[in-house]
Each structure stands twice: as structure tokens, then as C-alpha cells.
Amino acid sequence: MTGLSLTMSLVGGGANEVASAIKSAEPGWLVAIVAMVFLSYCIDGLILLVFARLYTRHYKFHQGLANSIVGAFYSDVTPGASGGQVMQVFTLKKQGIDVSNGASIMVMWFILYQVSLILFDVIAFIFEGPNILQIKTVKLMIWKDWNPEITMIPLIIAGFALNLSVLALLFFMSYSHRVHNFVMHYVIGFLGRIKIIKNPDKARENLRVQVENFKIELKRLQTNIPVTILIISLFLLALLIRYSIPFVAGLALDAYGANFQFTLKFFFEGTFRSAFHQMMTGLFPLPGAAGVSELFFNIMFGNGYYQATTVAGIGGTETVIRETASNLAAGQILWRFTTFYLVLIVGGLVTALYKSRPKENYVYANRQTFVNLQLETFDERKRAVDTLYETKQLSKKSIAERLQSANLMDENKKDLPRKNKEDQSKKKRDGTEVGD
């Protein structure tokens, strides 16, 4: 798929022109793109550091960075990015964190990442949705007379619904018995009858485990709101950096026309187009969305965003030195190489050479393995979070009781002078009566 998409890009943009565009790219912007990719994974490492510090003081930033790169590698080489979290849990184990705590960290990571992704998608719909939804159909230039059309709006809506439904389904199943029973009995049963789900009983058990783990880790997050807000902010920052790379690739190729002037509006337009790109590619469970990612990149950034490279001529005229198609193909290759292939190469080296890599108990890195990890550590993590929640509630009660006691003491102190006067006057009155 990758080879096919690369061939199509070179043919569509002209191999010589694309190669010339990449060679003439501004080196400073190329360095900036690589730095942005590295910074985004540093933020991922910082997020893991914050999570790990909830359990131990001995976790270091470089461990979080290495773990984030290991997770990126396994996500890139497994269908639907299903292997990343599994191997991150085992890497956390080698870094000194128990498997139960590692599974807890990755479930919380998943919850807050999905929340951040949905927030970013909503903002993208608000500001860039009207422009993107105007791209109703796109003709794919695949081969000579074979140019099929695809409809964009259903793909965009389905992609957003997929991002939203994962979190919404777990939430409603956790707190609504009707939704829980409906999904468990009717939805899974129906999917089993039409052979989409091969083993309905196993699917029910897996979903039950994920719902219960969602409830546990959501309760844990509720006990530490500042950390939750911090991590969501870091996720949004990482998404902003990654989604803005196509815009910077355009700067490197001078692909915005001779009269281009930087504006925040144009910057966020490119960033939000990347968000829509993620929505659509998320529908295809290919490793790294190979082929599909390149295809949708051409659609998102080939509709008036990337332009021809021109120079000002005599009399105010402009001379085209590189066509839009060549800039689009070159931008796609720069973006894909830095965000996927470079990460794949570096991630593979880190995974192979990192001293804390798993050396025993090799497992299949897939979604089922992660479910099994959650199941095996469920009881331990439930006891821990229940204790944490009860302790927090107890501390609130203790604080309220102490405040009430302090208020009573203050009132007693205020009343003490008045009581002393009353006692003294009573003693005098009693003494006078005795004297008489």
C-alpha cells in the first residue's frame, strides 16, 4: 500500500519535479519539522512521567520518552495501532512499575487521549467544518480511465462518530444499566448472528472487562482533577504540533504562492485539515494507515491549500516554477517520512536496543492481550482506587469536622469574657447575701 501510494504520488506530481521540490526545500524548515516530531514525543514522555509519578518517585523523563517511542513503533506496525499500549505496559514493568499500575496508567492514558481528540475534533468542526464539508466528492486518479469517485461527508462523519463512540459507549455502559444490557445482549448477539463477531461470549467478556476498568480509572482521575487537566492540556499541545506539520512542510516548499503572508487563520486552517485527515484514516485498520493516509492527505491539502510555487516577473506578472501537483506530492512525502517512516526507523532501533525492553514473557501485541492484562490486574487496581477514593472522602470529612471544631472554639473564646463577668457578678452577689 505504501509503495503503491508513493508511486501514484510521483506519477501524479511528476517524479523529476517532486525530487526537485524536495531538493530545493528550505533546510531550516526541514529541521523544524523533525524538531516538532521529536517535541511531540517528548510531550508524550512527559505525560507518562506524570502518570508514573502517581505510583513512584523514581520514574525519570528519559524513561517516559523511551516508552512513548516504543509505543509509537508497535502502534505503527500493528493493525489499528492495537499493539502500542500492550508493549508500553511491559516496558513500564521493566522500568520498575508493576503490571497492575502499568495497565492502570495506559487505561487512564487512553481515556484522556480520547477526550483530547474529541475536543480537538469539535474545535475543527466549528472553525473549518464548513469549508471541509464543501468537498463532497473526490475523483481518484488511479490509472488511465479508472478514476472512481468517493463521497467525503459520510467518511468525515463516520470518522468523528468513531472517535466519539469509543468513549461514549464505555461511559454510558458504565452508568446506565439499560444501555449496558442492550449492548451486551442485543447488539453483540445480533453481530454474532450475522457473523461479524465470531465468538459473542468472548466479546461480551472482553467488553465487560473494559467497562469495569473504565469505571475504575475514571474514578481515579476524578480524585486528582489538577493532574487530569494538566494531561489533557499536554495532549492538546501534542496534537496541535503534529497536526501543524503539513503547514510547515508547505513553508519548506514555498507552496503558498508569491504573496503569502503568515496568519493564524491560515495556520489553523491547515491544522484543522489534519484533524479531519485523522478522522478519516481512523476508519481503516491498516498498520500505520499505509496507503490510505497518503490518499486522504492529497484530498485534504489538494483542494486549494497547497498552491503552485511562483516568482514575481516583470510588470507584476508571476511565473510558475513548480506546479501545485508537484508541491502536493513533495509535501506529502516530507510529512509522511518525518511523522511515520522516521518514527518507525528510530522506534525500531530504540525498541531493539533499549536496555529496559521486555526480555522474557514475550506476548502477542494486540488488543486481546491488553484486555487480558486489565482482567488479570482488575481486583488489585479496584482495591487501590476504592481505598484512594474513600481516603479522599474521609479527608474531606476530617477537614469539615476540624473546621467545625475550630469554629466552636472561636465562639467559646468570644463568649469567655462575658461568662467570666457573669461568674464574677454572681460570686459578689452570693458573698453579699452571706455577709448580711
Confidence of residue 374 (pLDDT cuts 50, 70, 90): low
Q: Which of 193, 308, 185 is closest to 253 using CA atoms?
A: 308
Confidence of residue 35 (pLDDT cuts 50, 70, 90): very high
- pLDDT: which is higher, 243 or 99: 243
Is pLDDT at 217 greater than 70 in this prediction? yes
Confidence of residue 206 (pLDDT cuts 50, 70, 90): confident
- pLDDT: which is higher, 432 or 380: 380
Q: Which three cell numbers stand for residue 419?
A: 461568662
pLDDT per residue over 261-292, tens digit each? 889 999 999 999 999 999 988 888 888 888 78
- Alpha-carbon span 278 to 272, nearest angstrom: 10
Q: How much of the chain is helix, strand and coil, in % rounded to 5?
A: 75, 5, 20
pLDDT per residue over 41-81, tens digit each? 999 999 999 999 988 888 999 999 999 999 999 998 888 77
Is pLDDT at 358 greater than 50 in this prediction? no
- Alpha-carbon span 222 to 228, nearest angstrom: 8
Is pLDDT at 32 greater than 80 in this prediction? yes
Is 235 in contact with 47 (CB distance < 8 Å)?
yes
pLDDT at 296: 86
pTM of the model: 0.77
Is 374 in contact with 107 (CB distance < 8 Å)?
yes
pLDDT at 312: 66
Is 325 in contact with 170 (CB distance < 8 Å)?
no
Confidence of residue 317 (pLDDT cuts 50, 70, 90): low
- pLDDT: which is higher, 364 or 307: 307
Other Cβ atoms less than 10 A from the Cβ of 207: the count is 19
Other Cβ atoms less than 10 A from the Cβ of 19: the count is 16
Confidence of residue 260 (pLDDT cuts 50, 70, 90): confident
- pLDDT: which is higher, 11 or 24: 24
pLDDT per residue over 96-137, tens digit each? 888 888 888 888 898 999 999 999 999 999 998 888 888 777
Is pLDDT at 316 greater than 70 in this prediction? no
Cα→Cα distances 67→61, 74, 83, 340, Å? 10, 11, 13, 17
Confidence of residue 434 (pLDDT cuts 50, 70, 90): very low
- What sign results for the dihedral spanned by CA atoms 191, 196, 197, 200? positive
- Alpha-carbon span 49 to 51, nearest angstrom: 5
Is pLDDT at 377 greater than 80 in this prediction? no
pLDDT at 398: 63
